Structure 1
Amino acid sequence: MVLRRLSALAAAVALLLGGVLVAASPAQAAVRVLYYDASTAQEFASVVHQGAQIWNARVTNVRLDPVPAGRTPNIRVYADNGWPRAYVTSLGNGRWYMGREATSQGYYQPRIAAHEFGHLLGLPDRRTGLCGDLMSGSSAPVSCTNPNPNSAEIRQVDAAFAGSLATAGTYVWR
């Protein structure tokens, strides 16, 4: 009874002050923010940001943001002349390379960026050959321009960041 009256009083005060009182849901976890550094991605910096935004538009439990000044990034992105590849130290942490070998062969750059971010988000290569599977990587044809994760990939990333699953490994775009 006392608790009910205190709740009603708190709601009334919030309304008088122009605010809204919202009850927190215990099932709703905070979004985990991962900071990435694209400063060494050279000519691919804008496509790195595009790859991050592709994920941000589709998942709810994690967000990829450019690293603010003075903060250590979770993810570092580099450019080199090899194949794109990722080195995952733990879920959401590591580095990946935007390899010019794949881009010079005509692979779609936003797809590469989203794919490599996918590794840092806990997804392995799946080599299905299907353009609709982001993690099929280079097994999909060069003509594939789909940079979006499919529903299963989205669910797997959201599930990984809802809990404490840790993933480590090396992934090479081949």
Structure 2
Amino acid sequence: MTIEKTPIQDLVIINPSVFNDERGYFFEAYNQAKFNQNGISYNFIQDNQSFSKRGVIRGLHLQINPFAQAKLVRVLEGEILDVAVDIRKDSPTFGQHFSVVLSAENKKQLMIPHGFAHGFSVLSETASVLYKVDQVYDKESERGIRYDDPALNIDWQLDSAEVIVSEKDLVLPYFKDIDWEF
């Protein structure tokens, strides 16, 4: 396993060591000891899975303290553009985002620490996404930012005519209007 740093501190890409042979492949998707050796120390308590069709954008979602969630995101089937927005006000990259293509083929994972809004767009015909979290869902702590916020200017790598967004995500505030502290 290799850990790839991104331009945003604490946000890293996990590249597993994949062992291929005539039967198929094997890799460790998560190994707590190896994560800890690399300074990634979370107590993941729940796995969540979603299935979506091409054009779906889920996000940008987060939970505020004390229910903030770290997430380890990977794709079981298909391909997504995974996006994390730094909302840590004391961070030099506050308000900046990072995106990476995660797919069943490349087997990359994105480790998103506390202090980020998260979302993804589905680039393949369908995609199954699995992510570990270190905190339970708490409706009262749930927050979000509009996926199409002009200040963030995220390229979701989709044609606007094919974008599918939930009603819930369409009423999220813009980044400039968020009134909560992380």
Band the TM-score falls in, shorter-chain normalisation: under 0.3
Task: Using structure 2 for the length normalisation, give the TM-score.
Answer: 0.22
Q: Which of these two proteins has the greater Rg computed from alpha carbons?
A: 1
Higher RCO structure (Cα 8 Å, ≥6 apart): 2
Please identify which structure carries the higher strand content.
Answer: 2
